[in-house]
Amino acid sequence: MFDIFSLPDVKMPEGFLWGAGYAGHQVEGNNIHSQNWAYEQAGQTKEKSGMACNSYELWEKDVEIAQECGLQAFRTSVEWSRVEPHEGEFCQEAVDHYIRFFAALKEQGIQVFATMVHFTVPLWFEEKGSFKNLDNLKYFERYLEFLVPQIAPYVDFWNVFNEFNLQSPEAKLGTLHYHALGYHVIKKYSNGPVSSAHALVHYVPKRPCDRFDRTMAAYNDICNHEFFFHAIRTGEIVYPHRDATYCPELKGAVDFWSVNTYVRDMVDARRQWTGGTRYDFTSMKMIDQDFYLEEFNPECILANLGRLHDKPIYISENGIACKDDRFRIVYIAEYLSAIQEAIRQGADVKGYLYWSMLDNYEWGSFTPTFGLYGVDRQTFERTAKPSAAFYREIIENNGLTAEIIRKHLKEMPSLAF
C-alpha cells in the first residue's frame, strides 16, 4: 500500500516549465468542417461534441483561467478544418482567431505549445485518403505554408501531430512522411523546437514470466513506439512484415521528445488482439464508464522515459479522468515523484503539462473528466476544482512537499463510499 502523506518532497530542476492544455475539437465547439464532426453526426459516437466547452468564443476566459492557475505554458491545437474548411479555400478569420489567442497567452507570460493536427482534419482531406495517401503531401504543405508564417511569432514549441503512433500501420507509416515535411516547413519560419506528441504506452505482459505475453508486449512496443524512435534517429523506417525503407528527411526531425504518458497496457497473448484486463487489485473505476485510465501506475514514467536519454523531454500530456477530484491530487503527486526519479536516472525532463485544463469532450463522450476546472454543459461556466489550487501551489514552489499535500488533501480517497 502507498501512503501519499509520506511521499518525499519533489523538487524539479531550475527552469522547469509547468503547464496544461487541451485540443481544439475537444473544447472549441461547432468544428463543423472536420471529419470527426461528420462521424458524430452519422451516429458513430456515443455523444456529439456540439458546443463542447464553447472555447472558440470563450478563449479569453480560458486565458484568464490559465493565468489564475499559474500556468507557465499552455498547449492547444490549430484546427485545420477551420483554417481550410474547403479544399483550397483559406479562412483568414480563423487564423486571426488563433493569433489573438496565442498572443493573449504570451502577454500573460505563458509559453505556447501549438499542435498542427490533433486527430482532426478537414472532411475533404479525409475523403482523399488523409495521411495514408502520400499523394496528399502537397495539401498538407500548402496548409502549413499558409498557417505557420502567420502564427510563428506567437509559438514557442511545436507539435506537428498528436499521437499518430497508435493508428493503423498504413496511417502511422504514412504520417511519418507528413511529420518530416511538417518539421522542415516549420523550421523555415521558426526557431522554436519542433516534435510530434508521442503516446508512449508502457506495454506489460499480463503474466510477467510467460514467453508468449513477453514476446507480444515487445512486438506491440516495436509497432507503436520503436518504429518512430528508430526512424527519427536514423531515417530508416522499419516495421514488421514490410521491407525497410529510408527517408533522409526523417533523421533528426524532432528537437525534443514530446511524451504523452498515462498508464500501462496489459498484453495477453491468449487474446486475439492481445488486450489484457487489469489486475483486480490495481483496477479502480473512477468514472461511470469503462475507460483505459483505471489504475495508477507511476512506474510507467520510468519505463517510458528511460529510453529517451538522447534529447530533452517535455511531458506534453499526463492526467487522470475521475469524478472524485481527490484522486487527481493523488495522481499528480505520484506521477511527479516518478518524474523526479526519472530525472535522477538521466532523463532530461524540461517540463510537465497536465491534461487537461478543462473537462472537455473526450472523443465520443463527456463522461471522462480530466480537467482542473469543471465546465457546466449548459452555461459553459468554468469552475476551479481543488486540484487547480493544488497544481498552482506546485508551480509556485517548483515542486511538491508534504505540507502542500496535507493542505489540499485531508484523507486518501476511496471508491467504497
Whichever domain contains 387, its CATH number is 3.20.20.80
What residues make up the domain containing 379? 4-408
% of the chain surpassing 90 pLDDT: 99
Structure confidence at residue 129 (pLDDT): 98
Asked whether the predicted pLDDT for residue 401 surpasses 80, the reply is yes
Examine residue 20 and state whether it is found in any structural domain, yes or no: yes
Asked whether the predicted pLDDT for residue 254 surpasses 90, the reply is yes
Domain count, the chain: 1
Examine residue 415 and state whether it is found in any structural domain, yes or no: no
| 58 φ, ψ (degrees, to nearest 5) | -105, 25
Contacts of 301 (CB under 8 A, 6+ apart): 261, 335, 338, 339, 341, 342
Examine residue 183 and state whether it is found in any structural domain, yes or no: yes
Asked whether the predicted pLDDT for residue 80 surpasses 70, the reply is yes
Structure confidence at residue 123 (pLDDT): 98
What is the mean pLDDT of the segment spanning 24-39?
98
The per-residue pLDDT for range 180-217, each reduced to its tens digit, is 999 999 999 999 999 999 999 999 999 999 999 999 99
Structure confidence at residue 411 (pLDDT): 93
Examine residue 413 and state whether it is found in any structural domain, yes or no: no
Examine residue 94 and state whether it is found in any structural domain, yes or no: yes
Q: Where are the alpha helices (DSSP H) in 152-250?
A: 169-189, 211-221, 227-234
Asked whether the predicted pLDDT for residue 1 surpasses 70, the reply is no
Examine residue 414 and state whether it is found in any structural domain, yes or no: no
Instruction: Using pLDDT thresholds of 50, 70 and 90, give the confidence band for residue 416.
Output: confident
The per-residue pLDDT for range 97-129, each reduced to its tens digit, is 999 999 999 999 999 999 999 999 999 999 999
Contacts of 150 (CB under 8 A, 6+ apart): 95, 99
C-alpha to C-alpha distance for 13 and 349, rounded to whole angstroms: 9
Instruction: Using pLDDT thresholds of 50, 70 and 90, give the confidence band for residue 3.
Output: confident
Asked whether the predicted pLDDT for residue 369 surpasses 70, the reply is yes
The per-residue pLDDT for range 144-178, each reduced to its tens digit, is 999 999 999 999 999 999 999 999 999 999 999 99
Asked whether the predicted pLDDT for residue 232 surpasses 70, the reply is yes
- 118 bridge partner residues: none
Asked whether the predicted pLDDT for residue 417 surpasses 90, the reply is no
The tally of CA atoms less than 13 A away on the side-chain side of residue 380 is 16
Distance from the first to the final alpha carbon of the chain: 19
Examine residue 278 and state whether it is found in any structural domain, yes or no: yes
Structure confidence at residue 109 (pLDDT): 98
Structure confidence at residue 311 (pLDDT): 98
Examine residue 416 and state whether it is found in any structural domain, yes or no: no
Name the average pLDDT for the chain. 97
The tally of CA atoms less than 13 A away on the side-chain side of residue 89 is 8
Instruction: Using pLDDT thresholds of 50, 70 and 90, give the confidence band for residue 245.
Output: very high
% of the chain surpassing 70 pLDDT: 100
C-alpha to C-alpha distance for 67 and 169, rounded to whole angstroms: 40
Contact (CB, 8 A) for 415 and 284: yes
Instruction: Using pLDDT thresholds of 50, 70 and 90, give the confidence band for residue 273.
Output: very high
What is the mean pLDDT of the segment spanning 22-31?
98
